[in-house]
Structure 1
Amino acid sequence: MKIQGKMFLGLALFILIIAITYGVWSKEPVGTTALVLAFGLSVMIGFYLAFTARRVDALAQDNKEADVADEAGEVGFFSPHSWQPLSLAIGGAFAFMGVVFGWWLLFFSAPLLLIGLFGWVFEYYRGENRTQ
């Protein structure tokens, strides 16, 4: 994580230099504001990664002698039988089509999005998979 923190802080410095150069040269406020906000976001991410790197053990990516297999292991649990992403995808597609074709489509997309979201969050809190 130390390397990523340094990379984001270096990126933030680069974006700041570009923002100042762009702002002085073009005198265009919207692009300058976007670059300054990108600088702020890079600083936040870089500070978080550098701050967190002090509190966790060194990872394989921080060791120059490490192999790819050193970080191998369980990544997490992914539900193999969930239909909720399909509901979210259809609801999201209708929501974005509502922006294009008419806001009335949001009335059809909101229930699909809510069903998919609540179904996905509470998927393992009902039926045979419920924890006791």
Structure 2
Amino acid sequence: MRVKTLSTEFKTFALLVPFFVVVAAVYAYFTDPMEWVGIVGLSLTACLCAFIAGFIWLTSRKVDDRPEDNELGEISDAATDNYGFFSPHSWWPLWLGLSSAVVFLGVAIGWWLVMIAAPFMALATVGWTFEYFRGEKAV
């Protein structure tokens, strides 16, 4: 029976957990007087990394070995069609990015600008999501 290797994403987030725990402890030791916001923020960051690592570990057990997790793998091993479909000429990301920029700018300038740009952002999100949907449940 072949032992399944751990994914690179799991290793990354699992290594971040002790790092943030140590940084939180060092931060707590060196702050005078003790500043709780930084300690709590760093501790919650360690918890979030642990949650993400756990989720990736649980879901990676259900997936076959991926070519990018094989240390002896070649680039040609990942040359398959199971990475999804990506639109080659979509304009929706441009409109979503522009409207999102105006919404975030509106938070700094005035809420009236948010009210103007939010419908455009919603329209661009829906347009990009349903770009290839035509007819009844078409893809």
User: TM-score band (shorter)?
Assistant: 0.7 to 0.9
> CA shift at 1:103, angstroms?
1.2
The TM-score with structure 2 as length reference comes to 0.80
- Give the gaps of 5 or more residues in structure 1: none
CA–CA distance in structure 2, aligned partners of residues 90 and 64 of structure 1: 40
Structure with greater proportional helix content: 1
The TM-score with structure 1 as length reference comes to 0.84
Q: How does 1:1-132 map to 2 (within 5 A)?
A: 1-26=6-31, 27-74=34-81, 75-126=83-134, 131=138
What amino acid sits opposite 1:87 in the alignment?
Answer: W
CA–CA distance in structure 1, aligned partners of residues 108 and 115 of structure 2: 14
What's the RMSD between the two structures over aligned residues? 2.2
CA–CA distance in structure 1, aligned partners of residues 12 and 90 of structure 2: 37
**Percent identity (aligned):** 37
Assess if the C-alpha contact under 8 Å between 1:87 and 1:115 holds in 2: no
> CA shift at 1:130, angstroms?
6.5
Assess if the C-alpha contact under 8 Å between 1:19 and 1:32 holds in 2: yes
CA–CA distance in structure 1, aligned partners of residues 36 and 42 of structure 2: 10
- Give the gaps of 5 or more residues in structure 2: 1-5
Q: In structure 1, what is the equivalent of residue 3 of structure 2?
A: none
Bigger RCO of structures 1 and 2 (CA < 8 A, at least 6 apart):
1
Of 62-71 and 113-122, the range deviating more from structure 2: 62-71
Give CA-to-partner distance per residue, 1:13-35, whole Å, 9 cap, x none: 11111112212321211111211
Of 51-60 and 1-10, the range deviating more from structure 2: 1-10
Aligned length, in residue pairs: 131
